[in-house]
Structure 1
Amino acid sequence: MAHPPVELGTFPTPVEPAPRLAAALGLGPDDLWVKRDDLTGLGGGGNKIRKLEWTVGAALAEGADTLVTTGAAQSNHARLTAAAGARLGLDVVLVLRGSPGVSRSGNLALDGLFGARPVWAGEVDRAGLDAAAAAVCERLREKGARPALVPFGGSSVLGARGYVRCGEELRRQVPDLRTAVVALGSGGTMAGLVAALGADSVLGVDVGALPDPAAAAAEFAAPLTEETVAPDRLRVRRDQVGDGYARLTGPAAEALRLAARTEGLVMDPVYTGRALAGLAAAVRDGDVRPGERTVFVHTGGLPGLFGHAEAVAYAEEGAVPYDL
């Protein structure tokens, strides 16, 4: 039985109409709505708060005094784990891919502000990152600490329960929902939505965080629903990864500018920018159609925009001086 969640966020998050963005994408003015999970409150907001309520709740129930987690230098999950630790009086150690001084991510700045301590694992793969985190936990135990390892991206069957709740909110807020569009990274967010809404109602846009994100989402969703969840049953777009997770793609850059200039919404270059580019592609190829209610799940990530050199340069190029 799952431990009860700890309250960290502000819920339910609002759902807002996006008629100008809808028109730009080729949808009707009432077709597109945005689920504002960038407004979850703690630590700058974002989708990871819903997962952390469950994973940190379990850590507290088991007597942990230190949270350890993993991620890339620009990890939104690492930032919000740091914020959760600060809120609850827990130490936080972040095992990050890369080396100190290479990244200037806005998330790293907030990690430090929240008091989290980084451990740099070098240019390792996911298995190497997991091994580094396990070694950190062992050293902490030797020093008398009681660490809890929070999974990569906050994604697990337990963490996905946070997005079951989000899916339940959406059913109440948008009863005629046809498709919820969301970034697909480590799999937990999509898994919870699939468990609540059904596989046919969720479109995940792969951001390149895992080799097989559909398998991860299916694995996390299966225990949370009575339906059979197989990877090939999930609606997943894999056409937005481009040159890799950390690189800004042309379609994502266009999506950043489009959301900002039609609705005043800020996307990030890794997750929501790719997800919105995936939605645009889905409209073009008929997977998302006019006349059907679509919700774009805005999972946050704004701090990751700052310090992403390609995205900042692209944004600044758009500021054309006004010729008076």
Structure 2
Amino acid sequence: MLYGHDKVNILMQPSQITYLKNVSDDLGINLYLKRDDITALGTGGNKLRKLEYLVKDALDKGATMLLTTGGTQTNHGRLTAASAAHFGLKSAIVAVDEYPGEISANLILDGIMNCNVYLVHNDGTRTKQEVAEESFAKITKEWENKGEKVYFICTGGSNNIGMLGYYDCALELDKQLKEMNLEDPRVITTVGSMGTYMGLFAGQKNENLDFRLTGIAIEPFPDGIEKTAIEYYNSCKEEFGMKFEAKESDFDLSCDYHRGAYNNPCKEVREAIYYLGSKEGIVMDPCYTGKTFAGILEMVEKGDISKGENVVMIHTGGIPGIYTKHHRIEFEKELRKYIHIM
């Protein structure tokens, strides 16, 4: 139990840490992956750690249905659907987004797990948030009229309760790193909705854990990433009574590698994915982990990661993203050369 909150058991804990020997030899660092992509439900991914706490809260409140939000191809939505199915709940996803012209990737997986996906058009007369909130209220009412008790989960599961999943992970990771006898390890994770990074940060600071933490943003933060981080942390601190007093300077966060937008096709990211796949047989996705790994490669090149440094990247999953139309088209163009029809 953390800060008065218990969890359900979804993960196969602890997730393993894999040494990337071939890449490490190439780069002159010691690079490891913490495999949060290899988890029990819905093809795996980091959101399951958050959902362990969120689903427990939902069950404690008597919920019969989980309602969440994100983009059309939300990984969090997929894993919410998987968690709901596992615990006998209904599920739905609301995306203020356009229909992509096909049912592929996460949309297929959502349907397999009996999850309703509502794609809501925004005509531009209102903000995306206004359209989303109206849609949440409408869909919640529809399901409540059918007798369901709806529990709402925000984008990415990145609220205060969801953050506890990666606070847990920080404790798990610290124990593993001590067992491995790694000197001055540096943990690097993707930053999107920020729940993964925030949980690791809160755990690291409040439990005095012996690793450094760097977050790599995969989308722009117009209001400032440190400002977003300190507001999120202070909200958690107030709710849970955490002791650490954070300043913006305590957050090691980089916005240098988001490539201009969220989930945009990017050649440098695909090249990083090809490099890792060809060297280690491990696959990353073009929206989250691929961008983060491409950022790590650039950090090594620039000297922001030192030779001989011990680096552990959190592999957060998201592999279905490869099969989304706008990414898949680019992969198909570049990988056609490997197909030989005889």
Picking from 196, 204, 207, the partner of 1:197 is 204
Matched residue count:
321
Is it true that 1:275 corresponds to 2:278 in the alignment?
no
Deviation at 1:210, TM superposition (A): 5.4
Gap regions ≥5 residues in structure 2:
none
Contact 2:220 2:260 in 1 (8 A): no
Partner AA of 1:190 in structure 2 = Y
Q: Percent identity?
A: 31
CA distance in 2, matches of 1:48, 1:218: 21
Partner AA of 1:188 in structure 2 = G
TM-score (norm 2): 0.86
SS, match of residue 174 in structure 1: helix
Distance 1:302 1:276, change over 3 A: same
Partner residue, 1:55: 54
Deviation at 1:277, TM superposition (A): 1.2
Relative to structure 2, which stretch is displaced further, 129-138 or 151-160? 129-138
CA distance in 2, matches of 1:312, 1:260: 19
Contact 2:177 2:185 in 1 (8 A): no
CA distance in 2, matches of 1:251, 1:321: 19
Contact 1:16 1:34 in 2 (8 A): yes
Is it true that 1:297 corresponds to 2:314 in the alignment?
yes
CA distance in 2, matches of 1:301, 1:205: 16
SS, match of residue 42 in structure 1: coil
Is it true that 1:208 corresponds to 2:208 in the alignment?
no
Partner residue, 1:39: 38
Deviation at 1:126, TM superposition (A): 4.1
Contact 2:220 2:255 in 1 (8 A): no
Distance 1:159 1:322, change over 3 A: closer
Picking from 5, 8, 13, the partner of 2:7 is 5
Could you report, residue by residue, the CA deviation over 1:86-127 in whole angstroms, capped at 9, with x for unpaired residues? 111111011013233535441110000000011112246345
Partner residue, 1:182: 189
Relative to structure 2, which stretch is displaced further, 283-292 or 206-215? 206-215
Relative to structure 2, which stretch is displaced further, 120-129 or 167-176? 120-129
Relative to structure 2, which stretch is displaced further, 220-229 or 150-159? 220-229
CA distance in 1, matches of 2:117, 2:203: 35
SS, match of residue 246 in structure 1: coil
Deviation at 1:8, TM superposition (A): 1.3
CA distance in 1, matches of 2:252, 2:130: 27
Partner AA of 1:48 in structure 2 = K
CA distance in 2, matches of 1:137, 1:16: 42
Partner residue, 1:20: 22
Could you report, residue by residue, the CA deviation over 1:207-230 in whole angstroms, capped at 9, with x for unpaired residues? 117545544443343426422233
Deviation at 1:313, TM superposition (A): 2.8
Distance 1:61 1:277, change over 3 A: same
Is it true that 1:170 corresponds to 2:173 in the alignment?
yes
Partner AA of 1:221 in structure 2 = Y
CA distance in 1, matches of 2:91, 2:336: 39
Distance 1:321 1:37, change over 3 A: closer
CA distance in 2, matches of 1:38, 1:171: 19
CA distance in 1, matches of 2:45, 2:289: 11
CA distance in 2, matches of 1:210, 1:134: 27
Deviation at 1:315, TM superposition (A): 5.5
Contact 2:19 2:32 in 1 (8 A): yes
Deviation at 1:196, TM superposition (A): 2.1
CA distance in 1, matches of 2:34, 2:216: 16
Partner residue, 1:77: 76
CA distance in 1, matches of 2:332, 2:189: 23
Distance 1:196 1:239, change over 3 A: same
TM-score (norm 1): 0.90
Contact 1:73 1:103 in 2 (8 A): no
Deviation at 1:140, TM superposition (A): 2.6
CA distance in 2, matches of 1:56, 1:209: 30
Relative to structure 2, which stretch is displaced further, 234-243 or 200-209? 200-209
Partner AA of 1:36 in structure 2 = R
CA distance in 1, matches of 2:225, 2:116: 29
Could you report, residue by residue, the CA deviation over 1:124-158 in whole angstroms, capped at 9, with x for unpaired residues? 63453244223322333344321000111000111
SS, match of residue 248 in structure 1: coil
Contact 2:264 2:287 in 1 (8 A): yes
CA distance in 2, matches of 1:296, 1:65: 36
Partner residue, 2:164: 161
CA distance in 2, matches of 1:292, 1:149: 42
CA distance in 1, matches of 2:214, 2:250: 11
Gap regions ≥5 residues in structure 1:
none
Is it true that 1:136 corresponds to 2:139 in the alignment?
yes
CA distance in 1, matches of 2:220, 2:12: 27
